[in-house]
Amino acid sequence: MLADPALEARAREISRELRCLVCRNQSIDDSDADLAHDLRVLVRERLKSGDSNEQTIGFVRARYGDFVLLRPPFAIGTALLWGGPLLVLLLGAFAVARLYRRRDVPVPPLSAEERQRLSAVLKEEGSR
């Protein structure tokens, strides 16, 4: 922790925006992994040396790539990441629509042979 509360608050803010590369589903602020600890120390060192929030994030991003950001920028490489949930939702809606459309198809009437077999089965069930 930094002695200056304002710098510590900035460090915590930045740490909440950076992904733990070990855990992958947590920020470095929430993670107990050694690498997350090292990144928290690095962030604090950069802030103590006078870097802005953007410069600090830029330094970490340059070293580890966009994957280290919990909210990566929209780019060609991240288009599926940003559009994936919408794509899954649209595919699900399409599948449900097809399912309901398939239910509305009229059932053709039974043939004479099928009606006789059905009557025989129902008589058999009724006699039990």
Q: What is the pLDDT of residue 3?
A: 80
Structural element, H or E, at residue 95 = helix 79-103
Q: State the pLDDT confidence band at 104, using cuts at 50, 70 and 90.
A: low
pLDDT tens, 74-92? 777 777 777 888 999 999 9
b/e for 3-29, b at 16 or more Cβ within 10 A? Answer: eeeeeeebbbebbebbbbbeeeeebbb
Q: What distance in Å separates the CA atoms of residue 24 and residue 52, rounded to the nearest whole number?
A: 25
Q: What distance in Å separates the CA atoms of residue 40 and residue 67, rounded to the nearest whole number?
A: 16
Q: What distance in Å separates the CA atoms of residue 39 and residue 47, rounded to the nearest whole number?
A: 12
pLDDT tens, 40-56? 999 999 999 989 999 99
pLDDT tens, 3-27? 878 888 999 999 999 998 888 788 9
Q: Compute the mean pLDDT over every residue in the chain, rounded to the nearest whole number.
A: 87
| Percent of the chain whose predicted confidence (pLDDT) is above 70 | 97
Q: Would the pTM of this model clear 0.85, i.e. be above it?
A: no
